[in-house]
Amino acid sequence: MKKIFFIFSLLSSVLISAQENKTGNWLMYFGTNKISEKFSIHTEIQFRNHTITPNNTEQLLLRTGLNYHFSEKAFVTAGYAYIPSYVFDSERKSPETEEHRIWQQLILTNKIGRVKFEHRYRIEQRWVNQDYKNRFRYRLMLFIPLNKPKIEKGSLFLGIYDEIFVNTKETFFDRNRLYGALGYQFNKATSVQVGMMHQQVNDFGKWYLQFALVFNTDLRKTNSKI
């Protein structure tokens, strides 16, 4: 554990020395909350900042959805998201733009050796300040265990992904995200990742320091105790 926190602290210290307006920060929570053998609830909160210190809000993302699991390697989701966005160093207290989003996705996983591959296909119907847009996304993510044959309790792992965003009108290529992080699996339900993500939007690119908490609960066990 000391080695893990040392690596996380070293990464944070190096990045904090970067110029404030050139590196952002995302604080994230993700949850898959099982309610039956086939169904679970997706919960997600992202607090996104223009600067590396979380004191200049860029976006707040609140997302939820209902998952249907075909198997351990395949499931679909349909849900809703609310995303208010803020201009850098704005004195305005309310968001400059507000987005209401309906989304659907399919996630497929497979393994080659020690490496787990996750393919995420997502479709979004977006109302941005009442302007309607459609968008398609594809993300390929790799999970690579470092100190154990597979990701389990006590595992250090690498998380790497690339995601492309495509619009149906206006600019065809919306953005690209390239991500790399070091993760630790505390137990079956809980893991953390600390890493960097580079987002390219047309001709503008920016780095973001990211902290992610994943907490997957089984609500069936909780309900059985009541």
What is the DSSP code string of the chain?
Answer: -HHHHHHHHHHHHHHHTS-GGGEEEEEEEEEEEE-SSSEEEEEEEEEEESSSSSSSEEEEEEEEEEEEEEETTEEEEEEEEEEEE--TT---SS-SEEEEEEEEEEEEEEEETTEEEEEEEEEEEEEETTEEEEEEEEEEEEEEESSSSSS-TTEEEEEEEEEEEEESSSSSEEEEEEEEEEEEE-SSSEEEEEEEEEEEETTEEEEEEEEEEEE--BHHHHHHT-
What integer pLDDT is reported at residue 222 of this predicted model?
A: 57
The domain segmentation of the chain, as residue ranges, is 2-224
Mean pLDDT, residues 23-52 taken together = 96
Mean pLDDT, residues 26-41 taken together = 97
The yes or no reply on domain 2-224 and CATH 3.30.70.270 is: no
Query: Alpha-carbon distance 5 to 71, whole Å?
Result: 35
Per the CB < 8 A criterion, the answer to whether 138 and 146 are in contact is no
| Residue range 45-96, pLDDT digits in tens | 999 999 988 888 999 999 999 999 999 999 999 999 999 999 987 777 789 9
Between strands 23-34 and 204-215, the pairing is parallel
Residue 150 has pLDDT above 50, yes or no: yes
What integer pLDDT is reported at residue 181 of this predicted model?
A: 97
Cα 108 vs. chain centroid, distance in angstroms?
16
pLDDT band at 126 (very low <50, low <70, confident <90, very high): very high
What integer pLDDT is reported at residue 5 of this predicted model?
A: 55
Residue among 89, 199, 184 nearest 145 (CA): 184
Q: Which two tokens stand for residue 123?
A: 């479709």
Residue 6 has pLDDT above 60, yes or no: no
Residue 226 has pLDDT above 50, yes or no: no
pTM of the full structure: 0.87
Per DSSP, what are the bridge partners of residue 160?
142, 180
| Residue range 182-201, pLDDT digits in tens | 999 999 999 999 999 999 99
Mean pLDDT (the chain, rounded): 89
Residue among 170, 94, 96 nearest 132 (CA): 170
Rg (CA), the chain: 18
At 3, phi and psi to the nearest 5? -65, -40
